[in-house]
C-alpha cells in the first residue's frame, strides 16, 4: 500500500484536485473526473478550437478536436454509453440497451473504466525477479513525460465502477458530416483490449489512436466488464450463464454497426482487432453465430480461442465460481440462484480483489499457470432475454473442425518473448522459485491436454524429453547464465506460438479459406511497452510489446530519449502502416501502399507457411521452429488425436514430401524468402 499512497500523493500534488470523485455529478454523465486529460500537457496533442457535434440513436453528442503528431485533425467523441449500466439485478447479466438523453451530451472526456484490481499491479512492480533491473538515468526523461498518464491510470482504477460500458469514437475531421452510405464511408477499426480478462480499458492512456488516424480510418475503443463481473458463470438454470464481458463486446459491435455512419465510417468495413485476451474474444466473434456478418476482417495478436488457456467448460467454470465464493463471504454450496443473490450483494471492488481465489489446485499444475476468469462454453438453454443469446455452446476446436469460423481475411501474430510477462506476475509470482517449478516436478512441462493420456512414468519421461528439446540439458533452472533465453523460449511456445501456429495451419489446410497473414514481432527498442514498464532485461519482445508500435501508448515511458530519426519510429511507422493497410484493404502490403514497394507480405498457406518477422528490417521467413513444431505435432496426434490434429498431420505429411524434394537450404528451422518486387 505504500506505493499506492505515494502515487496518490503525487497525483494530488500534480493535479491539485481530489483524484477520487465517486460522487461527482460528472461521473453520472460518464465524464472523466475533474476534466483531467494528460494530453493537454503535450504540445502536439493540443485541442483545435472546433466543437464538433454528431447525432446517434440515443441523442446528440459534443466532441472535441485533436491534432495527431503528423498534423491530422480528428474528432474525438468519448464516454458514449453503448449499453445500460449493468448494476443491481443486471450484475453478471448480458448488457441491456442504453437509455436516450435530452439535449447535448458532453462527450469530450472518457467515461469510467470497469472495476479491476490494483493490488496485483503493485505485486508486479514490488516483487521482482532478477530479470528486472532498476531505473537508470537515460530512462528518467521518458518516465517524467509519462507521469501524468501513469497517475491517470491509477486514478482510473481507484474510481472504476460497474457503470462503465462506454465507447470512444475517433474520426478524421474530413470524414464527419459526409455521406457515409453506399460504401462511401471510411474503414473502421474496432479494438478489443487485452489484460488477462481482469485488467484493461479503452482510453487513450493505453490506446491513443494517433498513429492509425493518419491512415484515414475511424477508430473505436470501448470498455467491457472484467474478472468475475464479466466472466463468472454458474451454468444452466442459474441465470448467470457467463460471458457477460464478451456480450458487452457484442453489444458495442452492434452499436457501432448502427451508428458509425454518423461519424463517417462504413458499417460494412469493420475490422475487429484484439490483443491477448482481446484476441481470444476476437476469435470468439469469428466463431459465434450471434456476431456473424458484423465485420469483414480480424486481427489477433498473441492469442485466440484455440489457445489452451482461452476458454473453459461450463462445469469447470461453475466449479471455479463456487471455489471463489467463500473468499467474498458467500457459501459455495448454495443453490445457484441463491449464490448469485449473495454475490450481487458483494462490493464490486471486493469481487475483483479476490479473483485469483477462483483457481483450483489443478489450474496451477502446468508451468504457465492459468487465468482465473475466462470465456465459457455456455450450456444450451432457453434464454430470459434476447440479449442473453450465447456466444458459443461448443468448444472452439469443435467449431473449427466443423467449419463454423467466419471466412474473412485474418491477420495473426505473436512476439518473440511472450513468456516474460508470465513471470512478471500475470499468472506466476515474479520470483526465482516460480522459475524452478520444473526442477521440483518435471511433469509441469506436460500440457494439460496431453497429461490425461499418460501414466505417471510416461508423464515424467515426456517432461524430461521436453526439457532436453528446449534447454539441451537437465541442469537446474537459473537466471545466472545464458539458459534464460532457452527457458523463456520454451514457455513462450507453450503460452502462445504453438497454438497460434496450430490454428494457422488448420485454417490454411482449407482450400476455400480467406487470406491469412502471420507475423512474429521481435524488435526490441525504447518503445517496447511491457519490457519498459516491467524493467525486463532479456533481449526479446515481451507479451504486448508490439502495442506501442501500433498505438501511442502514453502510459509507457520510453527507455531512452529518442531522436526524430530513431529506428523505433521507423519500425512504428512500418508496422502500424501494415496493420492499417490490412484494415483498409484486407492485405498488409497492397499495391499503392506507402511502404517500400519491394516489401511483400505473402499469405500463410499450407505449403509455404510464410510469416513476416517484424524487426528493424522486416523480412519474410517460413517454417517457424520446424523441429519444435514437429515434436509437438507427433505428441498431440498420437496422444490426443481428433479431427484438428488429423487434418494438420495429414497436411504436414504432404508438405514434408514436397519440402524434402526441394533444394532450398534451410538453416535453424527458418528459410528466408527474398522480398518480391510486386505486392499481393
Instruction: Write out pLDDT tens, residues 590-635.
Output: 998 888 888 999 999 999 999 999 999 999 999 999 999 999 999 9
Q: Which of 408, 431, 463 delimits the end of a domain?
A: 408
Helix (H, G, I), strand (E, B) or coil at 227: helix
Is 537 in contact with 485 (CB distance < 8 Å)? no
For residue 252, give the C-alpha cell: 458495442
| 660 CB-near residues (< 8 Å, 6+ apart) | none
Nearest CA-CA partner of 30 in 203, 200, 150: 203
* Confidence check: pLDDT of 423 > 90: no
Give kind and range of the element (H or E) at residue 532: helix 529-533
* Confidence check: pLDDT of 110 > 60: yes
Q: Could you tell me if residue 594 is inside a domain?
A: no
What is the per-residue pLDDT for 25? 33
Same domain, 485 and 467: yes
Section 441-466 average pLDDT: 94
Give the range among 42-46, 87-91, 123-127, 575-579 with minimum mean pLDDT: 42-46
Catalytic residue among 110, 162, 418, 546: 418
Same domain, 379 and 457: no
Section 516-533 average pLDDT: 90
In this structure, the chain runs to a length of 680
272-286: per-residue pLDDT in tens?
999 999 999 999 999
C-beta neighbour count of 616 within 10 angstroms: 13
In this structure, what are the phi and psi dihedrals at residue 544, rounded to the nearest 5 degrees?
A: 75, 5
Q: For cell 539441451, name the residue.
A: 472
C-beta neighbour count of 407 within 10 angstroms: 13
Helix (H, G, I), strand (E, B) or coil at 64: strand
* Confidence check: pLDDT of 340 > 80: yes
Same domain, 267 and 354: yes
Give the range among 173-187, 337-351, 575-589 with minimum mean pLDDT: 173-187
Average pLDDT taken over every residue of the chain: 84
Give the separation between CA 49 and CA 45, rounded to whole angstroms: 13
Same domain, 355 and 502: no
Q: Could you tell me if residue 402 is inside a domain?
A: yes
Same domain, 458 and 355: no
* Confidence check: pLDDT of 384 > 60: yes
Share of the chain above pLDDT 90, in %: 65
Number of domains the chain contains: 2
Same domain, 628 and 562: yes
In this structure, what are the phi and psi dihedrals at residue 105, rounded to the nearest 5 degrees?
A: -85, 135
535 φψ region: left (φ > 0), alpha (ψ -120 to 50), beta (else):
left
Share of the chain above pLDDT 70, in %: 80
Q: Which of 408, 435, 458 delimits the end of a domain?
A: 408
Q: What CATH number corresponds to the domain at position 376? A: 3.40.50.1820
What is the per-residue pLDDT for 457? 96
Helix orientation angle between 456-471 and 483-492, rounded to the nearest 10 degrees: 120
Catalytic residue among 276, 301, 358, 493: 276
Same domain, 420 and 553: yes
Section 333-356 average pLDDT: 96
Section 517-544 average pLDDT: 86
115-152: per-residue pLDDT in tens?
999 755 544 444 444 444 444 444 445 555 666 777 77
Same domain, 626 and 523: yes
Which pLDDT band holds residue 26 (cuts at 50, 70, 90)?
very low
Listed in order, strand segments (DSSP E) in 441-545 are: 516-521
- How do strand 218-222 and strand 166-172 relate by DSSP bridges? antiparallel
**What residue spans of 586-642 are helical by DSSP H?**
626-639
Per the structure, the complete domain to which residue 315 belongs is given by: 50-101+114-125+140-408
Of the two residues 541 and 478, the one the predictor is more confident about is: 541
Same domain, 402 and 493: no
Which pLDDT band holds residue 487 (cuts at 50, 70, 90)?
confident
In this structure, what are the phi and psi dihedrals at residue 66, rounded to the nearest 5 degrees?
A: -115, 170
Q: Could you tell me if residue 389 is inside a domain?
A: yes
Same domain, 323 and 343: yes
Q: Could you tell me if residue 439 is inside a domain?
A: yes
Listed in order, strand segments (DSSP E) in 278-394 are: 297-301, 312-313, 376-377
Angle at the Cα of 289 (from 287 to 295), degrees rounded to 5? 70
Q: Could you tell me if residue 29 is inside a domain?
A: no
Same domain, 575 and 608: yes
Is 207 in contact with 221 (CB distance < 8 Å)? yes
Q: How far does the chain reach from its first CA to its final CA, in angstroms?
A: 54
Is 142 in contact with 64 (CB distance < 8 Å)? no
Give the separation between CA 529 and CA 541, rounded to whole angstroms: 9
Q: Could you tell me if residue 169 is inside a domain?
A: yes
Give the separation between CA 494 and CA 467, rounded to whole angstroms: 12
Task: State the greatest distance between any 2 C-alpha atoms of the chain, in Å, as a whole number.
Answer: 72
Indicate if 418 belongs to the active site. Answer: yes
* Confidence check: pLDDT of 577 > 90: yes
Nearest CA-CA partner of 240 in 320, 134, 120, 131: 320
232-250: per-residue pLDDT in tens?
999 988 999 999 999 999 9
Beta bridge partners of 168: 221
Same domain, 565 and 646: yes
Nearest CA-CA partner of 678 in 599, 582, 609, 610: 599
What is the per-residue pLDDT for 398? 96
- How do strand 619-622 and strand 671-673 relate by DSSP bridges? antiparallel
pTM tops 0.75, yes or no: yes
| 33 CB-near residues (< 8 Å, 6+ apart) | 17, 19, 20, 21, 24, 26, 27, 155, 159
Q: Could you tell me if residue 38 is inside a domain?
A: no
What is the per-residue pLDDT for 425? 58
Q: Which of 385, 408, 431 delimits the end of a domain?
A: 408
Helix orientation angle between 314-324 and 336-344, rounded to the nearest 10 degrees: 50
DSSP letter, residue 222: E
Give kind and range of the element (H or E) at residue 148: helix 140-158
HSE toward the beta carbon, residue 676, CA cutoff 13 A: 12
Indicate if 276 belongs to the active site. Answer: yes
Give the separation between CA 446 and CA 307, rounded to whole angstroms: 15
Q: Could you tell me if residue 534 is inside a domain?
A: yes
What is the per-residue pLDDT for 158? 86
Amino acid at each position: 500500500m505504500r506505493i499506492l499512497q505515494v502515487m496518490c500523493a503525487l497525483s494530488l500534488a500534480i493535479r491539485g484536485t481530489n483524484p477520487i470523485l465517486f460522487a461527482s455529478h460528472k461521473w453520472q454523465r460518464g465524464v472523466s473526473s475533474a476534466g483531467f486529460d494528460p494530453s493537454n500537457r503535450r504540445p502536439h496533442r493540443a485541442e483545435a478550437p472546433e466543437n464538433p457535434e454528431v447525432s446517434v440513436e440515443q441523442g446528440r453528442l459534443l466532441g472535441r478536436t485533436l491534432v495527431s503528431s503528423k498534423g491530422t485533425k480528428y474528432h474525438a467523441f468519448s464516454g458514449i454509453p453503448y449499453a445500460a449500466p449493468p448494476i443491481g439485478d443486471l450484475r453478471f447479466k448480458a448488457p441491456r440497451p442504453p437509455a436516450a438523453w435530452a439535449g447535448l451530451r458532453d462527450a469530450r472526456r472518457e467515461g469510467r473504466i470497469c472495476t479491476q484490481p490494483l493490488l496485483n499491479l503493485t505485486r508486479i512492480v514490488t516483487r521482482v525477479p532478477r530479470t528486472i533491473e532498476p531505473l537508470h538515468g537515460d530512462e528518467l526523461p521518458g518516465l517524467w513525460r509519462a507521469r501524468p498518464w501513469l497517475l491517470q491510470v491509477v486514478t482510473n482504477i481507484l474510481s472504476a465502477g460497474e457503470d462503465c460500458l462506454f465507447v470512444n469514437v475517433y474520426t478524421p475531421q474530413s470524414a464527419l458530416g459526409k455521406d457515409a452510405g453506399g460504401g462511401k464511408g471510411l474503414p473502421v477499426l474496432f479494438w478489443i483490449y487485452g489484460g488477462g480478462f481482469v485488467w484493461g480499458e479503452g482510453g487513450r492512456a493505453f490506446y491513443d489512436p494517433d498513429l492509425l488516424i493518419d491512415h484515414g480510418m475511424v477508430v473505436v475503443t470501448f470498455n467491457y466488464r472484467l474478472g468475475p463481473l464479466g466472466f463468472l458463470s454458474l451454468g444452466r438454470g442459474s441465470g448467470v450463464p457467463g460471458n457477460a464481458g464478451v456480450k458487452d463486446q457484442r453489444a458495442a459491435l452492434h452499436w457501432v454497426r448502427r451508428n458509425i455512419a454518423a461519424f463517417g465510417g462504413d458499417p460494412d468495413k469493420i475490422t475487429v482487432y484484439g490483443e491477448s485476451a482481446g484476441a481470444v474474444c476476437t476469435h470468439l466473434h469469428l466463431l459465434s453465430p450471434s456476431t456473424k456478418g458484423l465485420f469483414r476482417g480480424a486481427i489477433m495478436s498473441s492469442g485466440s480461442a484455440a489457445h489452451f488457456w482461452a476458454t473453459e467448460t461450463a462445469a469447470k467454470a461453475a466449479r471455479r465460481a463456487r471455489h471463489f465464493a467463500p473468499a467474498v463471504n458467500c457459501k459455495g454450496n448454495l443453490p445457484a440462484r441463491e449464490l448469485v443473490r449473495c454475490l450481487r450483494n458483494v462490493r464490486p471492488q471486493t469481487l475483483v480483489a479476490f479473483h485469483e481465489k477462483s483457481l483450483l489446485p489443478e489450474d496451477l499444475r502446468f508451468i504457465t499457470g492459468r487465468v482465473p476468469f475466462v470465456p465459457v462454453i455456455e450450456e444450451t438453454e432457453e434464454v430470459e432475454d434476447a440479449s442473453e443469446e450465447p456466444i458459443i455452446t461448443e468448444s472452439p476446436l469443435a467449431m473449427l473442425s466443423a467449419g463454423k469460423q467466419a471466412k474473412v481475411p485474418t491477420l495473426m501474430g505473436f512476439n518473440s518473448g511472450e513468456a516474460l510477462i508470465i513471470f512478471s506476475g500475470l499468472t506466476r509470482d515474479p520470483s526465482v522459485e516460480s522459475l524452478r517449478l520444473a526442477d521440483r516436478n518435471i511433469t509441469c512441462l506436460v500440457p494439460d491436454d496431453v497429461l490425461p493420456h499418460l501414466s505417471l512414468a510416461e508423464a515424467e519421461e515426456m517432461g524430461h524429453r521436453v526439457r532436453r528439446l528446449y534447454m539441451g540439458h537437465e541442469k537446474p533452472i537459473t537466471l545466472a547464465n545464458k539458459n534464460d533465453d532457452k527457458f523463456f523460449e520454451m514457455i513462450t511456445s507453450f503460452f502462445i506460438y504453438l497454438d497460434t501456429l496450430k490454428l494457422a495451419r488448420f485454417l490454411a489446410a482449407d482450400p476455400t479459406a480467406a487470406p491469412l497473414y502471420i507475423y512474429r514481432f521481435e524488435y526490441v527498442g525504447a518503445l517496447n511497452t511491457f519490457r519498459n514498464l516491467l524493467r525486463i532485461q532479456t533481449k526479446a519482445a515481451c507479451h504486448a510489446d508490439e502495442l506501442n508500435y501500433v498505438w501511442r501508448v502514453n502510459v509507457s515511458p520510453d527507455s531512452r530519449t529518442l531522436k526524430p530519426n530513431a529506428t523505433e519510429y521507423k519500425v512504428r511507422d512500418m508496422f502500424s502502416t501494415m496493420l492499417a493497410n490490412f484494415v483498409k484493404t484486407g492485405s498488409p502490403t497492397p499495391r499503392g501502399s506507402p511502404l517500400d514497394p519491394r516489401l511483400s507480405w505473402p499469405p500463410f498457406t499450407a505449403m509455404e507457411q510464410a510469416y513476416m518477422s517484424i524487426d528493424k528490417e522486416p523480412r519474410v521467413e517460413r517454417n517457424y521452429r520446424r523441429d519444435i513444431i514437429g515434436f509437438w505435432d507427433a505428441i498431440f496426434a498420437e496422444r490426443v488425436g481428433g479431427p484438428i490434429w488429423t487434418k494438420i498431420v495429414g497436411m504436414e505429411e504432404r508438405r514434408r514430401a514436397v519440402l524434402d524434394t526441394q533444394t532450398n537450404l534451410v538453416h535453424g528451422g527458418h528459410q528466408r524468402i527474398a522480398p518480391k518486387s510486386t505486392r499481393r
